[in-house]
Chain A
Amino acid sequence: MDVLADLVQNTLDGLTAGAAYALLAVGFTLIFGVLRRVNLSYGAAIMFGVYFATWTSQHFQIGLIALALLSIAGAVAGGAYVERLCFSPHYRARDNSRADASSGSIAAMVASFALWMQFEEAAILAMPRHLYSFPPLYEGAPLQLGSFLLRVESIYLLLAAIVVCASLHAVLYRTRFGLAVRAVIDVPVAAQLAGINVSSVFVRIFALASAIGGLAGFLIAASSEQVTPMLGMWSTVKGMLAMMLGGLGSLPGAVVGGLVLGLVEVHSQWFFGPQMRDLIAYLLVFALLVARPAWMTRWTNIRSAS
C-alpha cells in the first residue's frame, strides 16, 4: 500500500512539474510550429523577464501579480528583441532558393544562440550572485488530502496550464488571428496568397509565446522561491525535450509531452536517483525520435524540420 501511496504522490508531483514543462513546451512549439524555426534564446528571454521581476522586487515592495506581469513583460521585451534581430531579417529568402531559405533558418537559430549568451551575461552582470530568492507563490502549509500532500503551488501551476491552453485554443479557433495562425501552420504559401501578412503573424506569435514563457518562468521561480542564471538553460532544455516527447510542432502534443516529461522525471528519480532521471528522459526522447511511431508523425505538421 505504501508503494501505491508513493506512486500517487509522485504522480501528483510529476503533474505539477509537468504543467510547468507543458507551458514551456507550448511556447517553444508556437514558435517552432508557426515560424518553423528553433528559438534557442526562448529560455534566456524568460530568465531575463524573471530576473527583471526579481530585481524590481528587491528595490520595491510589489505584489505577486505585479511580479507576474513584470516577468511576462520582460520576457516579451526580450522576445521582441530576439525576433527583430534574429528572425525577421531571415523571413524572406533573398534569392528564392530553398537553400537560402534553409540557411536562413539555421542562421536565425545560431543568432538566437548568440543572444542567449547576451541575456545570460547581462543577467549575471546585473545580478552577480548565483542564487536569488524569489517571493513565494504561496505561503502556507501544503494541503493534506488523506495521506497525500498537495502543494498549493501545484494547484496554481496546473490551473495556469489549463487556463493558458484553453485561452490558446479559443484564440486559435475563434478569432481571425487564430485562423491566420492555423493557415500559416498548415500551408504558409497558401496563407500568403490568401492575403495574410505572415510577418505580422510571426511577430504576434513570438510575443504570445514569450508571454506564456514569462508566465511559466514566474510560476517556476515563485514555486521554488529562487532564481538562478541557469534558469535560461534549464527552461530551454526542458521545453525542447517536452516538445520532442509530444511530437514536434503539435500544441496538444506539447502539453502531453510536458506532462509526460514531468511524470517520467519524478518517477525515474524516485526509483533510480537524479542522474538516472535525466538519463531516462533523454533516452525516451532519443527512442521516440528514432522509432517515430505512426501516431507521432500523424500529429506533427512539419513539412521539413530544417
Chain B
Amino acid sequence: MDEYSIGVLTNIGLFSFLALSAYLLLMAGEMSFGQQAFFGIGAYAGGMLTAIFGLSLPVAALAAMLSGALAAFLVGLPTLRLRGLYFAMATLAAAEMTRILFELLHFQRTLNGDLVGPDGTQGFRGIRWVFENGVEPLEYLAMIYALLLVALVLFLLVERSRLGATLRSVGADPELAASLGVDVNRVKLGVAATAGALAALGGVLYAHHNTYIEPRNFDIMLGVHSLAYALIGGLGTAFGPLLGVVLDIGALEGSQVFGGARMIVFGGLVAVLLIVRPRGLLDEKTVHWIRTRWR
C-alpha cells in the first residue's frame, strides 16, 4: 500500500476516535460541541510525555486517556443540569477556553540541543517517538485500527447490554430513567469521562502521527465536524460515526473529481441526506432492518 493511502486510512482511524466520542455523548442524550478539547488534551499531554519526559508511547497514551477523562469530568460536573443547546454551548465555551490555554502554554525544555515542547501559538513540534522507535507507517496504522477495533467491540457489547439500554433510556427521557431508579448524574459523568478518554486516545495517536500540533488544530470546526460525523453516519450503531468519518475524509480525498468544490458537493449531499434521514444513514430503523436480514 502506498504512503498516500496509508495516510488517508490513518486519518480516518484517528478521527474515528473523536467521532465515537461525540457519538457516546449523543447516546446519552447530550450534544457536545467540545470533544475536540479532549482530543487536544490527549495530543498535548501525550506529546509532552514522550517528547519531553521520554516516556514510551503506550504509557503516555494511558496517561493521556486519564487526563482526557479527568478534564471531561471537570467539565461534566458543573454542566450536569444543562440540557440541549445550553449544554452544547457550555461545551463549546469550555473547548475554546482549552484551546486558548494551549495558546498560552509555553513549556519547552532543551533536549539534545533542541528546544522541545509546546510554544503557544507557534505549536509543538518534535513529537517523534514513533519515528525514533522505528515504527513503520503501516505498523502504526495497524496499531490504530487494533485499538479502534477494541473500542468498537466494547461499544457493540455495551449497546446490547443492560448498560446500553440504561444509556439510551437516559438519553431518551432522563426524568423517566430517574424515576425508574437510574442515577442519571452518575451515568452522565461516566459517559463524559469515557468519551473524554476516547477522544484523548485519538489525540495522542494524532499527535504522534503528525509530529507537530498547534492550538488551531483543535478549533470549533473540528468539534462541529465530530458531531456531524455521528449525525450523518447514523445514530443507530457505533459504525455510524465511522461511516461519517469515511464519507467526509473520503470525499476530501476524492475531491479531485470536483476540483475545489468538494465541500459544495458534499455539503449539499449532507443537507439532502438529512432531509430523508434525520438520524443519519445508519439510523435505528436501518440498523434494525440490517439485523433482521442478517438472521
Touch A–B, Cβ below 8 Å: yes
Q: Which residues of B contact A38 (CB under 8 A)?
A: 85
Q: Is the CB of A118 within 8 A of B267?
A: yes
In B234-289, the 8 Å CB interface with A consists of 235, 260-264, 266-268, 270-272, 274-275, 278-279
The interface centre, meaning the residue of A115, A116, A117, A121 with most chain B CB atoms within 10 A of its CB, is A117
Q: Which residues of B contact A289 (CB under 8 A)?
A: 79, 82, 86, 89-90, 93
Majority-rule SS of B interface residues: helix
Q: Is the CB of B84 within 8 A of A118?
A: no
* A113-B224, A278-B96 given; A118·B85 CB < 8 A: no
Q: Is the CB of B261 within 8 A of A110?
A: no
In A57-103, the 8 Å CB interface with B consists of 85-86, 89-90, 99-100, 103
Q: How many of chain A's residues have a CB under 8 angstroms from any CB in B? A: 46
Q: Which residues of B contact A197 (CB under 8 A)?
A: none
Q: Contact string, B55-89, partner A, CB cutoff 8 A, digits 1/0?
A: 00000000000000000000000110111111001
Q: Is the CB of B264 within 8 A of A121?
A: yes
Out of A90, A237, A286, name the residue touching B90 (CB < 8 Å): A286
Q: Which residues of A contact B227 (CB under 8 A)?
A: 110
Q: Is the CB of B278 within 8 A of A100?
A: yes
Q: Which residues of A contact B138 (CB under 8 A)?
A: none
Q: Which residues of B contact A114 (CB under 8 A)?
A: 228, 266-268, 270-271, 274
Whole-angstrom distance between the alpha carbons of A122 and B261 in the complex? Answer: 8
Q: Does B177 contact A (CB under 8 A)?
A: no
Q: Is the CB of A89 within 8 A of B275?
A: yes
Q: Is the CB of A306 within 8 A of B85?
A: yes
Whole-angstrom distance between the alpha carbons of A283 and B97 in the complex? Answer: 7
Chain B residue with the shortest CB-CB distance to A240: B89
Q: Does A282 contact B (CB under 8 A)?
A: yes
Q: Is the CB of B267 within 8 A of A107?
A: no
A-B contact count (CB 8 A): 124
Q: Which residues of A contact B148 (CB under 8 A)?
A: none
Chain B nearest CB from A235 CB (Å) reads 13
Q: Does A201 contact B (CB under 8 A)?
A: no
Q: Which residues of A contact B92 (CB under 8 A)?
A: 240
Whole-angstrom distance between the alpha carbons of A236 and B270 in the complex? Answer: 20
Chain B residue with the shortest CB-CB distance to A32: B85
* A275-B103, A275-B104 given; A111·B274 CB < 8 A: yes
* A40-B224, A103-B279, A121-B260 given; A110·B90 CB < 8 A: no
Out of B79, B85, B94, B263, name the residue touching A120 (CB < 8 Å): B263
Q: Does A248 contact B (CB under 8 A)?
A: yes
Chain A residue with the shortest CB-CB distance to B228: A110
Q: Which residues of A contact B271 (CB under 8 A)?
A: 85-86, 111, 114-115
Chain B nearest CB from A22 CB (Å) reads 18
Chain A residue with the shortest CB-CB distance to B94: A286
Q: Does B232 contact A (CB under 8 A)?
A: yes
Q: Does A144 contact B (CB under 8 A)?
A: no
Chain B nearest CB from A268 CB (Å) reads 12
The interface centre, meaning the residue of B94, B235, B270, B274 with most chain A CB atoms within 10 A of its CB, is B274
Q: Does A191 contact B (CB under 8 A)?
A: no
Q: Is the CB of A115 within 8 A of B90?
A: no
Q: Which residues of B contact A122 (CB under 8 A)?
A: 264
Whole-angstrom distance between the alpha carbons of A85 and B279 in the complex? Answer: 16
Q: Does B231 contact A (CB under 8 A)?
A: yes
Chain A nearest CB from B269 CB (Å) reads 8
Chain B residue with the shortest CB-CB distance to A37: B85
Whole-angstrom distance between the alpha carbons of A163 and B260 in the complex? Answer: 41
In B75-130, the 8 Å CB interface with A consists of 78-79, 81-86, 89-90, 92-94, 96-97, 100-101, 103-104
Chain A residue with the shortest CB-CB distance to B103: A275
Q: Does A179 contact B (CB under 8 A)?
A: no
Q: Is the CB of A290 within 8 A of B82?
A: yes
Q: Does A200 contact B (CB under 8 A)?
A: no
Chain B nearest CB from A88 CB (Å) reads 9
Chain A nearest CB from B274 CB (Å) reads 4
Chain A residue with the shortest CB-CB distance to B79: A290
Out of A110, A233, A237, name the residue touching B231 (CB < 8 Å): A110
Whole-angstrom distance between the alpha carbons of A167 and B232 in the complex? Answer: 40
Q: Is the CB of A99 within 8 A of B172?
A: yes
Q: Does A305 contact B (CB under 8 A)?
A: yes
What are 15 residue pairs bridging A and B, where the CB atoms are less than 8 Å apart in the complex? A100-B278, A106-B31, A111-B275, A113-B224, A113-B228, A120-B263, A121-B260, A233-B220, A240-B92, A248-B86, A279-B97, A289-B89, A292-B86, A304-B84, A306-B31
The 10 closest A-B pairs by CB, nearest first: A306-B84, A305-B84, A107-B278, A305-B85, A118-B267, A114-B270, A114-B267, A121-B263, A286-B93, A111-B271
Interface, chain B (partner A; CB < 8 A): 31, 78-79, 81-86, 89-90, 92-94, 96-97, 100-101, 103-104, 172, 220-221, 224, 227-228, 231-232, 235, 260-264, 266-268, 270-272, 274-275, 278-279
New A-B pairs, 9, CB < 8 Å, besides A110-B227, A283-B97:
A86-B271, A103-B278, A106-B278, A110-B270, A115-B267, A240-B89, A283-B93, A305-B84, A306-B31
